[in-house]
Amino acid sequence: MPDAAAGPTETVLEVDGLETVFHTQDGLVHAVNGVSFNLKAGELLGVVGESGSGKSVTMMSLLKLVAMPPAEITQGAVRFEGQDLLKISDREMRRVRGGRIGFIFQDPMTSLNPVYNVGFQLMEPLRVHMGLNRAEARERAAWLLDLVGIPSAAERLNDYPHQFSGGMRQRVMIAIALACDPKVLIADEPTTALDVTIQAQILDLVRKLRHELGMAIVWITHDLGVVAGIADRVAVMYGGAIVEQAAVEELFANPQHPYTRSLLKTMPSIEADGPEKLYSIPGQPPHLGKKPSSCPFAPRCAESFETCARANPLLASIGSQHLVACHWNPVTGGPRHA
Amino acid sequence: MLDATPPSVLLRAQNLTKHFPILRGIIRREVGQIKAVDGISFDIHRGETLGLVGESGCGKSTVGRTVLRLYDLSAGSLVFDGVDIGEMDQEKLRDLRPRFQMIFQDPQACLNPRMTVGSIIAEPLVEHGRLNKREREQRVEELLDAVGLNPSFRNRYPHEFSGGQRQRIGIARALALEPDFIVCDEPIAALDVSIQAQVVNLLEELQDKLGLTYLFISHDLSMVRHIADRVAVMYLGRMVEIGPVDALYRDPRHPYTQALLSAVPVPDPKVEATRQRIIIEGDVPSPANPPSGCVFRTRCPKAMARCAEQDPISREIADGHFAACHLLD
């Protein structure tokens, strides 16, 4: 790793130029088009985007969880603990997944196995990755369930997934993801399927646990409200690429990409009266049949000008850790790299 | 409301109740009841949007289906535009059906994939025997235009459209018979943020243009604040609070409404950092066996001994603002 110095700024995960395509009946779909980001130790990176923006495929690709075929990772590197995850064998990959990198999915019902009790599902990674024996694994499993706030944890190890409510199941999923003390946790829309009061419980739990356990988290969501409440840094994705990335306060106070600004404007506020008419982004998200040669947001963008149709803007720094991929400079009201 | 005279009521539900039987064994013996909607009363005024919010399983969709008589009432009464429809038989009801329609959550599931968009939208017109073939075609084109779709799309199939466009098709079908009242059951829940605003704006435009009345069922409290005139909050089959949208969001009186509103994340890191959240513990109890007294008492941070014994009565705490909680006595 380039800057593997110990301390709070150590980079634990580095994704560089990741590209994933899907071979479908209707031809290639370029789902991820050159995504690069770093994850620092202990930080929470929020990844925001709409369906089809490539946020889930990016995260699934870096753990090689996308089904190949139809998917193919055509380019890029994922550096984690001194190795490139895209180059290691499946055997080695299995050691990383569920071990040093934990994963939480959106729907807790389909990601738990209904025919095994949760104790078995919690103990499995502990025995495989940490080499614990039965008794040790059981003890740690009970400790984990207790950690995620499930009452009478030791007894509930014998219960099956259907005996838990939606929120409780998501807590079990979090316990499994945390089982082997991961350095990195990837959470893909973990609260989207939950009600708001249960979402509030889970967000509260994550706020508490991340400091207790000191892991780095990538939190995928489409909800800007969730990101505002828990993230340190935010990456906004559109058309298979990161279009803007900044610290959370900076992004909300000073959004630069027209897509980010539109997205913030479209959300009605619960706090105050909004405008009569909601702001809406015209048009549809892009079809990713071709690798974009122009800005993917240009057809829906109020600021677009001739350069946008000619070249796809690269993610570039505009100071203080703020990256944006746009030809337009809202400050000067002119092209950015004229 | 602007003038002093109370606006006329389009729909009045009193003590609306819907219990579903729990059947067990080979003779399907009834062993209990799911109290999906357990005695709620409300009015919907002509031309307004009543937002109905609550978490999954609170009975809000059952209310939507019951007021359209897609379910038979277990108890209570239902008056639509002066006509008692609570007990009316389905045959008689059929003449009234064109006046109340529904927009569904999942635009993928509610459109027949083997029918063209034109025939989907024309189906209610055929069913209710209105217009001849040429008039129907013309009406379909008008409707497509009204919901912002190109009229030449009528020969296409649902899969050729995006989620937002499919929802527009569902709206066009609901409008075909010129209804007065539309139940919108989570119409934007399956759509992306940037598309949600388009659909909500369309619903508001159509309401202004056609004088529609909406029951807008949603779990998205921010969107309900935007679209609704009044809001009703449900918990476990009961209505815990109802009131004008601004009053209810500014000064929620029921502990559940307070917790619900405080749980909604605000897209502003500064607000989020300083906000007081009320985190209610545990899960919603089973509607087959609701708690005694106040149904919220098992999770209520302010529960008292009395809450277990006595069912709180809904009382008016401000003009048109009602809540059912013993703390308000």
**Residue B226 with chain A: CB contacts under 8 Å:** 268, 274, 278
Share of chain A above pLDDT 90, in %: 24
Q: Which amino acid is at A52?
A: G
What residues of chain B, 203 to 242, have a C-beta less than 8 Å from chain A? 204, 219, 221-223, 225-226
DSSP state at residue A34: E
Contact A147, A121 (CB under 8 A): no
Measured distance CA(B155)–CA(B224) in Å, rounded: 34
What is the rounded CA–CA span in Å between residue B257 and residue B272? 19
Cβ distance B226 to A281 less than 8 Å, yes or no, reads no
**CA of B227: how far to CAs of A105, A196, A280, B217, B221, in Å?**
32, 19, 14, 11, 10
Q: Can you give the pLDDT at residue A304?
A: 84
Tell me the pLDDT of chain B averaged across its residues: 90
How many CB contacts within 8 angstroms connect chain A with chain B?
Answer: 119
Q: A271 to chain B nearest CA, in Å?
A: 8
Report yes or no: A243 at the B interface, CB cutoff 8 Å: no
Q: Which of B282, B267, B169 is nearest to A171 (CA)?
A: B282
Which residues in chain B are closer than 8 Å to A199, comparing Cβ atoms?
A: 263, 265
pLDDT at B2 over 50: no
Q: What's residue A8's pLDDT? A: 53
List chain B residues with CB under 8 Å of A284.
Answer: 162, 164, 195
Of the candidates A271, A274, A284, which has its C-beta nearest B271's C-beta?
Answer: A271
Whether chain B has a CB inside 8 Å of the CB on A56: the answer is no
- Paired tokens of A52: 């089809």
| A262 vs B contacts (CB less than 8 Å) | 194
Check: CB of residue B141 under 8 Å from CB of residue B154.
yes
Q: How far away is chain A from the Cα of B85, in angstroms, using its nearest Cα?
A: 33
* Mean pLDDT, residues A85-97: 88
> Does the beta-carbon distance from A269 to B225 stay under 8 Å?
yes
Of B56, B197, B269, the CB nearest to A266: B197
CA–CA min distance B307, chain A (Å): 21
Instruction: Identify which of B262, B261, B260 has the alpha carbon closest to the alpha carbon of residue B277.
Output: B262
Q: Does B269 touch chain A (CB under 8 A)?
A: yes
Distance (Å, whole) CA B210 – CA B206: 6
Residue with token string 């984990």? A144
Identify residue B306 by its one-letter amino acid code: R
**Contact yes or no for A201 and B225 at CB 8 A:** no
The three-point CA angle B257-B258-B261 to 5° equals 80
**Cβ within 8 Å, pair A200-B277:** yes
Q: Is A196's Cβ below 8 Å from some Cβ in B?
A: yes
Q: Does A133 touch chain B (CB under 8 A)?
A: no
The answer to whether B37 and B76 have CB atoms below 8 angstroms apart is no
How far is B96 from chain A, CA to nearest CA, in Å?
32
Q: Does the pLDDT at position A6 exceed 70?
A: no
Does this model's pTM top 0.95? My answer is no
**Could you give the angle at which helices B163-175 and B133-146 cross, rounded to 10 degrees?**
130
Q: Which residue has the higher pLDDT, A306 or B324?
A: B324
User: Measured at the alpha carbon of residue A23, what is the angle toward residues A20 and A27, in degrees to the nearest 5?
Assistant: 115
Tokens read off for A332? 């000067």
Give B193-225 pLDDT, tens digit per residue. Answer: 878 888 899 999 999 999 999 999 998 898 999
Nearest to B300 by CA among B316, B323, B319, B274: B323
Which of chain B's residues have a Cβ under 8 Å away from the Cβ of A258? none
pLDDT value of residue A174? 87
- The Cα A233–Cα A16 span in angstroms is 18
Determine contact, residues B56/A197, Cβ cutoff 8 Å.
no
Radius of gyration of chain A (CA): 21
- Contact (CB<8Å) A271/B277: no
| Residue B259: C-alpha distances to residues A201, B263, B277 (Å) | 11, 6, 7
A98 pLDDT tier (thresholds 50, 70, 90): confident
Can you say whether residue A212 is alpha, beta or left, with left for phi > 0 and alpha for psi between -120 and 50 degrees? alpha
CA pseudo-torsion sign B142, B144, B146, B150: negative
DSSP H or E stretch at residue A53: none
Whether the pLDDT of residue A107 is over 80: the answer is no
Contact B223, B249 (CB under 8 A): no
Beta partners for A93? Answer: none
Q: Cα(B67)–Cα(B16) distance, rounded to whole angstroms?
A: 9
Nearest CB to B194; choose among A166, A263, A271? A263
A205-214, B215-224, B314-323: least confidently modelled range:
A205-214
At residue B1, the pLDDT reads 37
Pair A239, B282: CB distance under 8 Å: no
Q: Could you tell me which chain A residue has the CA closest to the CA of B218?
A: A195
DSSP string, A226-266: HHHHH-SEEEEEETTEEEEEEEHHHHHHS--SHHHHHHHHH
Provide, as residue numbers in chain A, all residues whose Cβ is less than 8 Å from the Cβ of B281. 201
Query: Above 0.90 for ipTM, yes or no?
Result: no
- A146 vs chain B: nearest CA distance in angstroms? 14
pLDDT digits (tens, 9 = 90+) for A236-271: 999 899 999 999 999 999 999 999 998 888 887 777
| CA pair distance A190, A175, nearest whole angstrom | 13
How does residue A338 score in pLDDT terms, banded at 50, 70 and 90? very low
Distance CA B17, CA A160 (A): 34
Is it the case that residue A319 has pLDDT exceeding 90? Answer: no
pLDDT tens digits, one per residue of B23-54: 888 888 888 888 999 999 999 999 999 999 99
Give the chain A residue whose CA is nearest to the CA of B256: A197
Res. A3: pLDDT tops 60? no
With CB atoms and an 8 Å threshold, state whether B268 touches A268.
no
Determine which of A18-22, B2-6, B16-20 has the lowest per-residue pLDDT on average.
Answer: B2-6
Could you say which of B55, B223, B265 has the minimum Cβ distance to residue A226?
B265
Q: Which residue, among B250, B187, B204, B232, has the nearest Cα to B50 in the 3D structure?
A: B232
Nearest-Cα distance to chain B for A85, in Å, is 32
CA distance A154 to A139: 8
Sorting pLDDT into bands at 50, 70 and 90, what band is B57?
confident
- Over chain B, what HEC string results? CCCCCCCCEEEEEEEEEEEEEEEECCCCEEEEEEEEEEEEEEEEECCCEEEEECCCCCCHHHHHHHHCCCCCCCEEEEEECCEECCCCCHHHHHHHHHHEEEECCCCCCCCCCCCCHHHHHHHHHHHCCCCCHHHHHHHHHHHHHHCCCCHHHHHCCHHHCCHHHHHHHHHHHHHCCCCCEEEEECCCCCCCHHHHHHHHHHHHHHHHHHCCEEEEECCCHHHHHHHCCEEEEEECCEEEEEEEHHHHHHCCCCHHHHHHHHHCCCCCHHHHHHCCCCCCCCCCCCCCCCCCCCCCCCCCCCCCHHHHHCCCCCEEEECCEEECCHHHC
Phi, psi of B189 (to 5 degrees): -65, -30
Whole-angstrom distance, CA of residue A207 vs CA of residue B277? 13
- Token pair, residue B304, equals 């008292």
- Helical residues (DSSP H) of A247-334, grouped into ranges: 248-253, 258-266, 306-310
Three-state DSSP class for residue A92: helix
> What integer pLDDT is reported at residue A2 of this predicted model?
41
Q: Side chain identity at A87, as an amino acid letter?
A: K
Would you give the DSSP letter of residue A106?
S
The strand pairing partners of A324, in sequence order, are A244, A316
Cα separation of A100 and A91, whole Å?
A: 14
- Residues of chain A with Cβ-Cβ distance to B162 below 8 Å are 284
Q: Does A306 touch chain B (CB under 8 A)?
A: no
pLDDT, tens digit, 9 for 90 and up, residues B62-100: 999 999 999 999 999 999 988 899 989 999 999 999 999
CB neighbour list of residue A65: distance below 8 Å, 6 or more residues apart? A97, A103
Q: Given an 8 Å threshold on Cβ–Cβ distance, is A50 in contact with B267?
A: no
What is the rounded distance in angstroms from the CA atom of residue B251 to the CA atom of residue B233? 14
Alpha carbon of B328: minimum distance to chain A alpha carbons (Å): 23
Q: Do A268 and B259 touch (CB under 8 A)?
A: no
- The per-residue pLDDT for range A61-73, each reduced to its tens digit, is 988 888 888 888 9
| Contacting residues of A for B149, CB less than 8 Å apart | none
For B267, the closest of A50, A204, A267 (CB atoms) is A267
* Residue A290: per-residue pLDDT: 79
Among A61-65, A164-168, B125-129, B151-155, which stretch is predicted with the lowest mean pLDDT?
Answer: A164-168
Q: In the predicted model, what is the mean pLDDT of residues A158-172?
A: 85
A278/B197 Cβ within 8 A: yes
For residue B164, is pLDDT > 90? no
Residue A104 confidence (pLDDT) = 86
Helix, coil or strand: residue A109: helix
Residue among B56, B200, B269 minimizing CB distance to A278: B200
